[in-house]
Structure 1
Amino acid sequence: MPCPDGNAGSAGASPRKEPITVTRITDAALEVVATEGYDALTIRRVAAVLDTGPSSLYAHIVNKDDIDDLLVGRLSAEIVLPEPDPAEWRGQLLDVFSQIRDQYLKYPGVSRAALAMVPTNLEALRVREGLFAIALAGGIEPRTAAWALDAISLYVSAYALEQSLVLQRREHPDQEWVVSREELMRRYTADSFPQTRRYAAELTSGTGPDRFAFTLALILDNLCPSA
């Protein structure tokens, strides 16, 4: 009787699954946010993308907050930090925060992961260090720099979140609440609101990026180097 082929026993075996890693968890989380939005992001949903059970993820994360930290870290890794220049510090801060805004806008709602969270990911800490170094190079007093950067970070996160909410509602006509500029003008020019009517054009002027740059400049231009 011929001996069985040594490979025969493994012919019908299932292919070995790729091990779960922090990198794969982060990739899967970004995929969920990119395709379904941040509201869909749960440990169970990430596990499903990885074709595993939630328990497999707990060897690498403790809870959903850990996934948020990983997401912020991954997006922070894309940020290019300049060498601090005392003569160009305002422009450098505007550029870095614009990069952060653009990263958030790629993934609808992901900026919520950065709100009310103290970053611990090394990449997020790298960006925070870089922003602080730029402000200090500009002669800004340390506490003023820290508080101003925190305020701008909150604004950037809120701006990106608002943009994602507007986009989300425009994609679902049955939940439409965003009106056109023409409709806003019609409402703003009602006789009941004289100041709004008088300045309707100003109230509805500017694009999102225009207002973003204006707000950051409003903060940065009022930061005075210490004597």
Structure 2
Amino acid sequence: MPNQPASPSSRRNRPAKPALTREGIVSTAVEILRSEGLQKLTMRRLALELDTGPASLYVYVQNTAELHAAVLDELLGVVDLAENSSGTWQARLERVLTSYTAILFDHPGLAQSALVSRPSGAHYVRLLERLLALLDEGEVPSGQAAWGVDLLLQYATSTAAEHSAPNNSADSDAQWSALSDAIQNADPHKHPLVAGHATALLAGEPTARLSWGFRTLITGIENTPLTS
């Protein structure tokens, strides 16, 4: 007998898809980020992974910017808050900020997104609480501490955005080479200070510059009263 065509399976016999939740969407988005990078993390790609339509996701996440902010907040759960560390409050504060920056370094592209879409979830609030607690330990006035936290996170985020590996490393190398050439070959008659500071302008490892920047900002926050 000829083979009979297989009967189409009834929808009732198929396993039910897990119900969509914001937590599940964000968790899947983090997996895509880690395996494929931020550029691939689109609402369409996420919907495909979750076996649903993009329109279904907008019930839980308004747009891609909000999705990126939620993903960043999820990643902030592993920031080292230096709660069991020794050292001065300034050193522990720098350690927390360095850990935050390292997360952005590990996920190129996310730092650029973080500049315009700041997270607002539980992990971000936890980070803010820890930063404020360390400034409070140093008896930094509350107003200076509140504004200072914003300044410190902006500096960390922008630094990571600047140094995160771009998609085209050849372009990045070319840009750095062009900048180096412009500084090193600056006309000492037209730009005497640039020419005189050429070596220092280009010197220093990113980690050393980051640490110096944090220490400079912390000192300024501690000693600069708010203006009315």
Q: Give the shorter-chain TM-score range.
A: 0.7 to 0.9
1:111–1:160 contact (8 Å) kept in structure 2 = yes
Q: Are 2:112 and 1:107 equivalent residues in the alignment? A: no
Amino acid at match of 2:210: F
Q: Which residue of 1 aligns with 2:214?
A: 216
Q: Which residue of 1 aligns with 2:195?
A: 197
Q: Which residue of 2 aligns with 1:179?
A: 176
Q: Which residue of 1 aligns with 2:25?
A: 25
Taking the aligned partners of 1:118 and 1:18, their CA distance within structure 2 comes to 29
1:185–1:201 contact (8 Å) kept in structure 2 = no
Taking the aligned partners of 1:185 and 1:225, their CA distance within structure 2 comes to 35
Q: Are 2:52 and 1:46 equivalent residues in the alignment? A: no
Residues 1:175 and 1:103: Cα distance change in structure 2 (over 3 Å):
closer
Amino acid at match of 1:199: H
Taking the aligned partners of 1:74 and 1:131, their CA distance within structure 2 comes to 18
The superposition leaves residues 136-184 of structure 1 with CA deviations (integer Å, 9 ceiling, x where unpaired) of 11100001011111011111111111122x53331xx36864334xx65
Residues 1:45 and 1:201: Cα distance change in structure 2 (over 3 Å):
same
Measured after TM superposition, the shift of residue 121 of structure 1 is: 0.8
TM-score, structure 2 normalization: 0.78
Residue pairs, 1:4-153, within 5 angstroms: 13-83=13-83, 88-117=88-117, 119-153=119-153
Q: Which residue of 1 aligns with 2:168?
A: 169
Residues 1:87 and 1:175: Cα distance change in structure 2 (over 3 Å):
closer
Give the aligned length: 214
Amino acid at match of 2:136: L
Taking the aligned partners of 1:64 and 1:185, their CA distance within structure 2 comes to 36
2:47–2:53 contact (8 Å) kept in structure 1 = yes
Taking the aligned partners of 1:114 and 1:185, their CA distance within structure 2 comes to 28
Taking the aligned partners of 2:181 and 2:223, their CA distance within structure 1 comes to 45
Amino acid at match of 2:195: R
Measured after TM superposition, the shift of residue 13 of structure 1 is: 4.8
2:47–2:57 contact (8 Å) kept in structure 1 = yes
**3-state DSSP class of the match of 1:60?**
coil
Unmatched tracts of structure 1, length 5 or more = 1-8
Taking the aligned partners of 2:163 and 2:182, their CA distance within structure 1 comes to 22
The superposition leaves residues 164-209 of structure 1 with CA deviations (integer Å, 9 ceiling, x where unpaired) of 2x53331xx36864334xx655443325243323322111101111
Amino acid at match of 1:168: N
1:86–1:137 contact (8 Å) kept in structure 2 = no
Worse overlay, 149-158 or 41-50: 41-50
2:111–2:160 contact (8 Å) kept in structure 1 = yes
Q: Which residue of 2 aligns with 1:188?
A: 183
2:86–2:92 contact (8 Å) kept in structure 1 = no
1:84–1:133 contact (8 Å) kept in structure 2 = no
Q: Which residue of 1 aligns with 2:4?
A: none
Residues 1:176 and 1:81: Cα distance change in structure 2 (over 3 Å):
closer
Taking the aligned partners of 2:27 and 2:102, their CA distance within structure 1 comes to 18
1:33–1:40 contact (8 Å) kept in structure 2 = yes
Taking the aligned partners of 2:108 and 2:180, their CA distance within structure 1 comes to 28
2:105–2:163 contact (8 Å) kept in structure 1 = yes
